Structure 1
Amino acid sequence: MDYWERLFLYNKKLLMPRVNQLLNWVMGINFLCGIVFLLTIVYEYGFRISAAEYNLIHTVYHTVWVIFLVTTTIQIVFRQEDSSFKFTPWTWILTILLYLTLLPVVFKKPEETTGVYWVWVFFHHAYYKGTILVLLSFSQLSGILVRLLGKRTNPSLILAGSFLVFILLGTGLLMLPRATYHGISFMDALFTATSATCVTGLVTVDVPSTFTLEGQILIILLIQIGGLGVMTLTSFFAMFFMGNTSLYNQLMVGDMISSNSLNSLLSTLLYILGFTLAIEGVGMVVIWLSVHGTLGMTLQEELFFSAFHSVSAFCNAGFSTLPGGMGNPAVMQGHNLLYITLGLLIALGGIGFPILVNLYETVAYYLQAGKFWLLRRSGRFRKKVHLYNLNTKIVLVATVFLLIGGTLAIAALEWNHSFAGMPVADKWVHAFFNSSCPRTAGFASVGLTSLSTQTLLLMVVLMMIGGGTQSTSGGVKVNVFAVVLINLWAVVRGTDRVAILRRELSHDSIRRSNAALILYLLLAFLAIFLLSMLEPEAGLLAVTFECVSALSTVGSSLDLTPTLGNDSKLLVILLMYIGRVGAFTLLTGLVRQEKKRNYRYPSDNIIIN
């Protein structure tokens, strides 16, 4: 055996295991540093700190920065192709941005008259360094969470557990001294954090008078996390900055976000985040234009108001920073554009991310076809026959029908009742707004207790139906409700096949839709039964409205929420959690799944009627 062969064997058998062990230690150190860094941020902005504590905090920041520089260098020097940490193009960009923070250390501060001075100031700024460290911390934490999927852990339990973790974190953050004006109890903080993370909107305290600006920022961050979905965010960070991880991870994440293939997994995640930020950004601008100079706010307050309500509406949360919510007298007149914008944002958030992706692909196809036709390019343009999938068609048709039908019904019932005295245009706008809110955003432009009983019953039905699957809304979902009605009509007609829009629905879709509706009704009845016992003085309609609103993550209430006792609050918290995570998700995670059997029992019929 020659020298090179012995060196190769030594490198593979003795050196490489130690290198892998070193890289695992580095990943563990990065994980701990990420946690320490984020906790230090919480301490700095959550408590009123002294000068000595301020210096200590920035010492921790500097230490974490140095450790990240050292560990990143080690990962670059000893990186391997088969390592669990893979350097993607975006990882290299983030690494370069991290190394650029060394420029102010290596080079002295230049004179202010030179153009290099502003470059030096930019890379020396605390916000720049802090942003890089936050991205590194989130990528490390996300990588750990996504790798849990590779341990063959039940993805349903991971999804439910991740929401629970964020609810508990949000509860602790909302109890920080700088988050509220006069403090808040644990139960009210838990209720608010659950309502925000589960994008519900029910509150036991008045948001603008209880929470400071820092507390309201925490609420809107919890809403954004809950609206996008914890696994969507963590999967994006893990795959964007750390590679595509294992095949099993990709399959699990793809199933959660309804990606068509593994090749389009990252692009689907980018679509989801891109659509969310783009729609919320446009909504923020329109809301700001509609309220600018009319509410007596400063420019900064108007921008925060616009951003808060845009995120709250698109995520179907229903939180508001106005006293009395959207029924505040300051916006009731002359702000029709505000209500229309919020209603459209609620509808877009409620149709679901897969439908938004499908609509984007359709628009891109038509633009490409138009470009091909205008430029008269040589070759043959490949036409698509089925631009919209069946799920998109069902959701869009059902959403339009429910919005128009609900608007007409509410306008007819409340025209001379709660809408009396309003101009005709305002009546139609408020009818549209109050028709879109029960699907599932808890805004209300008029007091719900002033509505007629028939309108409230209609809202209960709209809350039960909810929005599209894999959206920010709750309820049984319009997809499920549509399939149940289509199946009912097929049974009435005596057909053995359930078809719609020239497509036959699968047997599994029908079974799951019927089961989802029955499960929802059972949970709603059990909740109404228990809450009526816990709150005997409340009316049955108010109790029913509260339970359906919580289970459907709507956030509307007949003024019952602030009067609930602690036991009732815990019940409503559980309903909001189940409604956001999904009863099916919890059951499939807790109940052992049976293996597929290769035999069948003899079939028989049950007397139905």
Structure 2
Amino acid sequence: MGWVMGVTYLSALVFLASIVYEHGFRISEAEENWLQGIYKTVWGIFLISTTVQIVFRQEEGKSKFTGWAWVLFALLYLTLLPVVFHRPDQTEGVYGVWMFFHHPYYRMAILFFLSLFYLSSSLVRLLGRRTNPSLILAVSFLVLILIGSGLLMLPRCTYHGISWLDALFTATSATCVTGLVTVDVSSTFTLGGQIIIILLIQIGGLGVMTLTSFFAMFFMGNTSLYNQLAVRDMISSNSLNSLLSTLLYILGFTLMIEGVGMALIWLSIHNTMGMTLDEELYFAAFHSISAFCNAGFSTLPGNLGNSLVMQNHNLLFITVSFLIILGGIGFPILVNLCRTVMYYLRYWKWKLFGRSSRFPKQVHLYNLNTKIVLIMTTVLLVVGTLVILVYEWNHAFAGMPILDKWVHAFFNAVCPRTAGFCSVGLTTLSTQTVLFMILLMMIGGGTQSTAGGVKINVFAVILLNLWAVIRGSERVAIFHRELSSESVRRSHAVLSLYLIVAFVAVFAMTLIEPEASVMAIVFECVSALSTVGSSLDLTPLLSPMGKGVIIFLMFVGRVGAFTLLLGLVKQEAKKNYKYPKDDLIIN
């Protein structure tokens, strides 16, 4: 079985590479025939491999696959119908059925899903080898970035070509949902290139391991116990029993929110930008995904500060703002809110039928993480909107109607958390607003979200610990809950590591880019490390070494410096002894 699966995994890779070659290059007729031969070979290998797995499917007396896997296998075997049976006459009733299963698109779709199934299952199996999950997470993002940069360099993805460094920069920015770009997206990348960018954003926003874990568990079930524990930690599930449901919630929320956002964006721009219906739908889909994933990419020159949308498009800016907020509060919060809504719906259903007295009541509907994130998010948005409004009322927002000023103040308070859209030139903002934006970028969004930064949770814990120290309290508590010492320690470690990385990057950039102002460099480095994507117009002017520093910061910011170190540094074994305690003079 081992060598069979090895050949299967290799065939899946060859199949996906062949699709990339076919659609990324302009190929001759001979190359087309050669590719069709590869597809038929992969099809045959998958048939043999599937048959072997079905014969030896028993593993410890239990089936290895879920019902959906059997459906996928059945669809694969149906591709044999046109081979076994001759083509019927058009007058016969089965002609349409025969043509459907004979169609190359059907076979290619089945081979594509099988390739994803086998590759995702192999990746999840790596967790069963007790590989460090933090390291796998970092490597998965790195591999996706390298694949993305290669795809963006394909001839059909750009109008006039692109350098490897700019392709790497764009792929890193998209995968790490940052939004910083060294080239203009609309004039550099074709429709195919832009689709690759939005796919990188979607995969990077959800997380490579989230998607592969869902795909593998959806078709394979709950694999090994260690796999389940590793996946549970990565998606912050409450229990092993809720793993698949949590993954379904994550994907369901994403598709639903992005779908509603797409509809609202389309309504806000319909018949206002001189686009065809297809172009409007594509614009709406691209910006909805980019906003929810906190990426900040736009197909408009000048981002959302383009003259086409700056007037009479408040619905667009409000929709994008709330997509950013929903993507930035974190999937665990969305899951908790959804379950709370479902709880109240069930309660009112029981009450409607007069059985509310027997309804199984739940005491703590909102967990502590949800309360902290929602309160801190609200505070930061309100304060940010007011600060920007005060400093830019007669500055960057001068000449705008009053309603537009409020909308753009709210929009520019949302974007630093951490989506790099912009409606006004950031270089036109006052120094005070820029400094406040740097603070917002550092804080970022919620944990387990598409946002970056040190995270709201960490910032809240640090403030609570500061207040406890000032009051002389030995415990850090909120909402009648005491925070664990581990949470406090990790929060301070995350902030300390963030500041160290940011300082080193800023120091290095002052040497690499001596002509740039310190403010622009600090803003650029914090924006990259927090995966924000905002810039004081420094990104297109960066030297190759400067681009390399920003690429590194974007990668570290998305994976997490703390997570990255956990994957690289060997963890200390638990010790059964303690050293004598002593105190340092602090103040």
Task: State how far apart, in whole Å, the 1-side matches of 2:8 and 2:513 are.
Answer: 50
* Alignment match, 1:9: none
Who is 2:167 aligned against? 189
- Contact 1:84–1:245 (CA<8 Å) still a contact in 2? no
Task: Indicate the residue corresponding to 1:401 in structure 2.
Answer: 379
Change (3 A) 1:207 1:592: same
- Which of 350, 372, 381 is equivalent to 2:359? 381
Q: Residues 55-454 of structure 1: matches in 2 within 5 Å? A: 55-82=33-60, 86-109=64-87, 116-377=94-355, 380-454=358-432
TM-score by length of 1: 0.94
Aligned to 1:491: 469
8 Å CA contact retained: 2:327, 2:449: yes
Q: 1:479 to 1:128 in 2, by over 3 A?
A: same
Out of 110-119 and 401-410, give the one that drifted further. Answer: 110-119
Larger CA deviation: 393-402 vs 586-595: 586-595
Deviation at 1:599, TM superposition (A): 1.6
Give the deviation of 1:595 after TM superposition.
1.2
Deviations 1:503-529 (A, max 9, x none): 111111011111111111111111111
Bigger drift between 544-553 and 594-603 goes to 594-603
1:32 to 10, 19, 29: 10
Give the AA of the match of 1:451: L
Pair 1:562-2:540 in alignment: yes
Residue from 529, 535, 541 that aligns with 1:551: 529
Name whichever of 29-38 and 472-481 sits farther off.
29-38
Code of the aligned partner of 2:468: A
User: CA separation of 1:115/1:438 partners in 2, compared to 1, >3 Å: closer, same or farther?
Assistant: farther
Cα offset, 1:70, TM superposition: 2.4
Over 3 Å counting, the alpha-carbon distance change for 1:372 and 1:113 in structure 2 is farther
Distance 1:220 1:186 in 2: 19
Does the Cα contact within 8 Å between 1:527 and 1:571 map onto a contact in 2? Answer: yes
Equivalent residue letter for 2:76:
L
Aligned residues of 1:85 and 1:243 also touching (Cα < 8 A): no
Deviation at 1:99, TM superposition (A): 2.1
- Judge conservation of contact 1:69–1:99 (CA < 8 Å) in 2: yes
Tell me the secondary structure at the aligned position of residue 606 of structure 1. Answer: coil
For residue 434 of structure 2, what is the amino acid of its counterpart?
L
Segments of 5+ residues of structure 1 without an aligned counterpart are 1-22
Q: Say which of 486, 492, 502 aligns to 1:514.
A: 492
Deviations 1:420-458 (A, max 9, x none): 111111111111111110000000000100111111011
> How far apart, in 2, do the equivalents of 1:95 and 1:274 lie?
25
Cα 1:176–1:84 shift into 2, 3 Å: farther
SS of alignment partner, residue 299 of structure 2: coil
Deviation at 1:85, TM superposition (A): 8.2
Q: Larger deviation: 166-175 or 80-89?
A: 80-89
Contact 1:85 1:242 in 2 (8 A): no
Question: How many Å apart are 1:151 and its aligned residue?
Answer: 1.3
Q: Distance in 2 between matches of 1:449 and 1:109?
A: 67
Please give the secondary structure, in 1, of the residue aligned with 2:413.
Answer: helix
Deviation at 1:35, TM superposition (A): 0.4
Aligned length, in residue pairs: 587
The Cα offsets for residues 479-517 of structure 1, whole Å up to 9 and x where unpaired, read as 000000011011111111111111111111011111111
Aligned partner of 1:566: which letter?
A: P
Instruction: Tell me the distance in 2 between the aligned counterparts of 1:497 and 1:378.
Output: 39
1-structure distance, mates of 2:63, 2:202:
28
1:531-546 matches, within 5 Å, as 531-546=509-524
Alpha carbons 2:347, 2:356 under 8 Å: kept:
no
On the 8 A contact 1:467/1:478 being kept in 2, the answer is: yes
Counterpart for residue 526 of structure 1: 504
Cα 1:119/1:418, change in 2 over 3 Å? farther
Tell me the secondary structure at the aligned position of residue 205 of structure 1.
coil
Q: Deviations over 1:453-490 (max 9, x none)?
A: 11101100000000000111100000000000011011
Q: What's 2:480 paired with?
A: 502
d(CA) in 1 for partners of 2:413, 2:103: 48
Compared with structure 1, are the counterparts of its residues 258 and 421 closer, same or farther at alpha carbon in structure 2 (3 Å cutoff)?
same
User: What is the CA–CA distance in structure 2 between the aligned matches of 1:118 and 1:502, rounded to whole Å?
Assistant: 66
The equivalent of 1:3 in structure 2 is none
Work out the CA distance in 2 between the residues paired with 1:275 and 1:62.
37
Label 1:368 to 1:591 Cα distance change in 2 as closer, same or farther (>3 A).
same
Q: Which residue of the other structure, out of 436, 454, 460, is the alignment partner of 1:458?
A: 436
2:567 corresponds in structure 1 to 589
Aligned-residue CA RMSD in angstroms? 1.6
Give the letter aligned to residue 270 of structure 1: L
CA 1:341–1:29: 2 relative to 1, 3 Å: same
- Higher mean Cα deviation, 98-107 or 420-429? 98-107
1:360 deviates by 0.9
Pick one of 425, 447, 450 that aligns with 1:472. Answer: 450
TM-score by length of structure 2 reads 0.97
Q: Which letter maps to 2:384?
A: G
Distance 1:391 1:206, change over 3 A: same
Displacement of 1:389 in angstroms is 0.5
How far apart are the structure 2 equivalents of 1:137 and 1:214? 22
State the SS of the aligned residue for 1:332: coil
Separation in 2 of the partners of 1:61 and 1:199? Answer: 33
User: How much has 1:118 moved relative to structure 2?
Assistant: 4.4
3-state secondary structure, aligned to 1:439 = coil
Paired AA for residue 507 in structure 1? S
**CA offset digits 1:180-202 (Å, max 9, x no partner):** 11111111011111111111000
Q: Identity over aligned residues, as a percent?
A: 72
